[in-house]
A and B are shown apart, each in its own frame.
Chain A
Amino acid sequence: MPDTAAPPSPAHPAFTFVKSAGGIEEYRLERNGLAVLLLPESAAPVVAFQVTYRVGSRNEGAGLTGATHLLEHLMFKGTERFNKRLGTSVFNVLQAVGAQVNATTYYDRTNYFALLPSEHLGLAVEVEADRMRGALVSDEDLASERTVVLNELDRGENEPLRRLVHAVYATAYFAHPYGHPVIGWRSDVETVTAGGLRHFYDTYYWPKNATLSVAGHFDRADALALIDEHFGGIAAGPEGDAAAEPLVAPETVTREPEQSGERRVVVRQAGQLGTVLLAYKAPPGLDADADALDVLATLLGHGKSSRLYRRLTDRGLATGASAFFPRLRDPGLFMAYATLAPDADADEVERELRATLRAVAEEGVGEGELARARRQVVAEEAFGRDGPYAVVAQLNESIAVGDWTLYPDYRARIEAVTAADVQAAARRVFDDDRLTVGHYVPVLPDDPTAAGSLPTDAPEGDA
């Protein structure tokens, strides 16, 4: 819920105060609509600065899967101003002042962040403003970075659980871009051109599609002045620039047709112990049921008093079992999984997983476990304030879902979740017609059929 207190002043004449919640203030840079979130804290003399672009693998079409992530890599290759040839690459200049610097890409967003001594905030602002429109995205840089990303892809493919999650998403989504991995399909990573990436960049990397977050020890007026100085001269968006004309409207994303029957997928890979994963179609992250689903995931799968731990891990059927609900902008998945104990039967584990979930839908939850789950979520939120990086990282996900106030209001929302809410959400989500079941079946390394035996139903087998 928004704070009722008046905005702190003086702020800065170039900005309009929009609202505040949980001590976080939102401003808009009037000249181009850039959104700015400020959380001044009196902690250690460090500050976190972040740019969140509301573009992710959700915005990628065929042939461009992985473009958001590959572009994120190329954003470190330089601009006319900050580049390796001048000895001023982004990493060089920011790490030289002691900054921790990186970027991540996910379904709905891409974020660039630096955690650095407070006196160097201006440098981080300057670097991000410069590369918002000045990235070179050259053919030469793409050539060397493409193989870096292919190695990153190989690293991911080494992990059976990651292959399983990719296979389950690809099976659950026929049409919506959530169906392809954030890192992209291998052949797209191998073939995308610098021109394709530049078009992607020119479509999405603009102030109107970005939110800045600043948290930690800084002066509010100084920070706004720095942001105005460096971002103020950038146009709001690509309007009128024919070269940046998107192939489809940037806000248009294919709608996933209703799932009307259970789907199953098997991933086989050399290894020791299997995994079973259940994924139910679930509502968007801002849906009224989403808070109850967060509590439900905690109650099912977090900690040694949780239902899945008791029913699977403690009984020796699994070495680990958990549930999670990534809150996404479009309808997502509610997942529960178990990693199999030696000699455990995958079908039995699947039956137990399904029975554990069904019991919540049919019988509801107890007040004791509900209170524990709520308390865990609330404590997470309190610890989420531990250090400025933790704050901007959480804000980043709320921005991606579509409303940054999800983060500051989270505690109150979770405390309002009732046992009836949890049961009702479980009833709506745990519908077998909207379920995708994935099994990772390990092939023992000494099995002569292991080599080249990946079945065709594994959507990304590349052996």
Chain B
Amino acid sequence: MNPVLPPATAPLDAARLPLADRVSDVTAGPARLLLCPAPVRDVVSFRGSLWAGVDLSGDDDVALALAVDLLDKGTRHRDRFEVAEALEGRGAQLHFYADNLRLGFAGRALTEDLPDVLALLAEQLREPALDADEFEKERRQAVASVRRAKDSTAGRATGALTRRLYAPAHPNYVPEPDAELERLAALTVERVRAFHAAHVAPTRLTIAFAGDLDGARVTAAVEANLGDWAPHDRAARFDTTATPTAPGRTDVEIADRLNLDVRMGHPVALRRDSPDFVAAHAGLFALGGNFSSRLMQTVRDEQGLTYGIGSALHNVSVEHDGHALVYASLSQDRLEEGLAATRAVIERFVQVGVNEEELERVRTTLAGTHAVALATTSGLAARLLVNAERGFDIGYLDHYPEMVRALTVDEVNRAVRTHLRPDELHVAVAGTLPAAPSGGA
């Protein structure tokens, strides 16, 4: 029998307990730890974040992104290859990410290696080398990545839509590629070092662990490595609400791209903790959440106009608003036809609303998807962390299926009529546009 496989007869009780009873919520030095045992053998996934206290009216987001890129390029004690070998020699993974407001990290390790990986994580966060040569290399990589992103129809359409809806200091704003290149060119290693010293600290540091873990051992390892790390008290500065232009359309021409990506959207006056968030989320899911949704059933399945189309509430958080988003990919010869068909489905959906049968499917799907997301250690760690970042208690994850099942047709349709307004939709299209538009969008 393979040693990593749990016996088929192991008790199911642990996995069936409510998360509120299963997860230990403990403090280790400056960190909040969420420890969730899960019935797998030998492996642990973890995910954590800290509040970076950024000022988005300046260049803090670029400095944060470069600082994050440099965290795995060496520390004061090990060069970049020694860092990589320490992880890869254990088959462990660890990566860092920036989400504008937070610095995050995610990883996984065999249980026996977790203390070593946590020690390395602490060393990378607290004592990165931030070497000048490595900074130049990472900046070149970032420039290459922005240049490559110029060819992405999806990325360009998404960016163009955000620039219609938000000002640069909003976390959802995506700069023009050329503006991003200018910001990268102006960045210095001294700026990144200063940013790291002032902003990378265990403020609101939360780490969720899930898997085959010994809670006391994990807590001790975090204490030992992060116990004496002091938080900062910097307030973040950013726009919390959208500032849209008048509704209209932006076309981004990219040569040799016969599939065009379309993004439609308008801001929504919603936060993740708004009373009608879940109803609005369910409404947008009925419109375009999966294959059974109106957009997929009509524009793809019946009309054959697209491979992929959908809708969602995009980047709505507890800290700032976001937008209602409809996305589609359309071939060049079907662009205007596809845009018109998409609009027609949205308009009819808002007029007629969901019916009970449709909503029942959505309720079951959202509850089922939630259960499935919690079936892996990485899924558990991710859900626990984002839930904590929102300031929700762990029980929210247990109660979410009940909240979804309790939604009524009236609640969902009211939320849809409030938060989805076809006349206010902005449109962004990226790809090789037809030579002469055959009709208005």
Interface residues of A (CB under 8 A from B): 3, 5, 8, 22-23, 40-46, 76, 84, 87, 89, 91-92, 95-101, 115-117, 143-152, 154-155, 157-158, 160, 216-217, 220, 269-273, 302-305, 309-310, 314, 316, 319, 339, 341-342, 368, 371-372, 375-383, 385-388, 390, 408, 411, 443, 445, 450-451, 462-463
- Do B4 and A385 touch (CB < 8 A)? yes
Instruction: Please name the residue on chain B nearest to A116 by beta carbon.
Output: B368
Closest 5 CB pairs of A and B: A98-B368, A379-B91, A270-B255, A144-B304, A387-B376
- Do B254 and A43 touch (CB < 8 A)? no
- Do A44 and B15 touch (CB < 8 A)? yes
Instruction: Please name the residue on chain A nearest to B141 by beta carbon.
Output: A319
- Do B144 and A319 touch (CB < 8 A)? yes
Q: Which of B120-128, B148-156, B166-174, B221-229 contacts A (4 or more CB under 8 A)?
A: B148-156
With a CB–CB cut-off of 8 A, which chain B residues contact A305? 81, 84-85, 88-89
- Do B8 and A271 touch (CB < 8 A)? no
With a CB–CB cut-off of 8 A, which chain B residues contact A271? 148, 151, 256
CA distance A458 to B330 in the complex (A): 24
Shortest CB-to-CB span from B211 to chain A, Å, is 8
- Could you give 29 example pairs across A and B, Cβ below 8 Å? A3-B1, A22-B1, A22-B2, A42-B15, A45-B371, A91-B291, A95-B291, A96-B360, A97-B368, A98-B371, A100-B372, A148-B307, A151-B307, A154-B329, A158-B257, A158-B431, A160-B151, A271-B148, A272-B150, A304-B88, A305-B84, A319-B141, A341-B141, A372-B85, A375-B88, A382-B4, A382-B43, A386-B377, A387-B375
A interface footprint on B356-388 (CB within 8 Å = 1, 0 otherwise): 010011001101110110111111000000000
Q: Which of B24-32, B275-283, B295-303, B392-400 contacts A (4 or more CB under 8 A)?
A: B295-303
With a CB–CB cut-off of 8 A, which chain B residues contact A160? 151
CA distance A377 to B371 in the complex (A): 29
Judge if B259 is at the interface, Cβ distance under 8 Å.
yes
- A146 interface neighbour in B4, B304, B308, B378, Cβ under 8 Å: B304
Number of B interface residues, CB 8 Å?
86
Report if A371-B368 is in contact (Cβ < 8 Å); known contacts: A147-B304, A314-B137, A316-B137.
no
With a CB–CB cut-off of 8 A, which chain B residues contact A97? 364, 368
Those of B281-295 within 8 Å (CB) of chain A: 290-292
Instruction: Please name the residue on chain B nearest to A99 by beta carbon.
Output: B368
CA distance A76 to B330 in the complex (A): 21
With a CB–CB cut-off of 8 A, which chain A residues contact B321? none
- B40 interface neighbour in A269, A310, A375, A385, Cβ under 8 Å: A385
- A270 interface neighbour in B83, B91, B254, B307, Cβ under 8 Å: B254
- Beyond contacts A155-B259, A269-B256, A371-B89: 17 other A-B pairs, Cβ-Cβ < 8 A, are A3-B1, A22-B2, A42-B12, A43-B6, A43-B15, A45-B371, A84-B301, A91-B292, A95-B292, A147-B304, A155-B329, A158-B259, A216-B375, A316-B140, A341-B140, A342-B143, A445-B255
With a CB–CB cut-off of 8 A, which chain B residues contact A87? 357
With a CB–CB cut-off of 8 A, which chain B residues contact A390? 376
CA distance A187 to B160 in the complex (A): 34
- Do B255 and A388 touch (CB < 8 A)? no
CA distance A393 to B301 in the complex (A): 26
- Do A96 and B2 touch (CB < 8 A)? no
- Do A148 and B304 touch (CB < 8 A)? yes
